[in-house]
Amino acid sequence: MFPVVRNALSRLQVRSIQQTMARQSHQKRTPDFHDKYGNIVLAGGAMFCIAVWTYTATQIGIEWNLSPVGRVTPKEWRNQ
């Protein structure tokens, strides 16, 4: 019988949480910092990150896609 009671109580708790959320969703609230500036801050951070990585990739002298083709010449074969 205990699992049945526990299940019923958990359903009652879920319903009360759902009712509370429904009541709160109908109330008008004032926009907070994240509502006002969240997307701007996110876009600014993304632009800063892209700018720093672009500068790093182009200005610090990394040689990309190193390939030994054409740079390494084979040594002469020695017969012993």
Which residue do the tokens 């993304």 mark?
A: 46
Tokens of 54: 């672009």
Which residue do the tokens 């017969």 mark?
A: 79
What pLDDT, on the 0 to 100 scale, is given for residue 43? 97
pTM, to two decimals: 0.44
Tokens of 75: 């040594």
What pLDDT, on the 0 to 100 scale, is given for residue 75? 78
**Which one is the CATH code of 32-58: 4.10.51.10, 3.90.1150.10, 1.20.120.1760, 3.40.30.10?**
4.10.51.10
What pLDDT, on the 0 to 100 scale, is given for residue 22? 65
Using alpha carbons only, what angle is made at residue 47 by residues 41 and 52, rounded to the nearest 5 degrees? 125
How far is the C-alpha of 9 from the C-alpha of 22, rounded, in Å? 20
Whether the per-residue pLDDT at 80 is higher than 80: the answer is no
In tens, the pLDDT along 4-57 reads 656 655 655 666 766 766 666 666 678 888 889 999 999 999 999 999 999 988
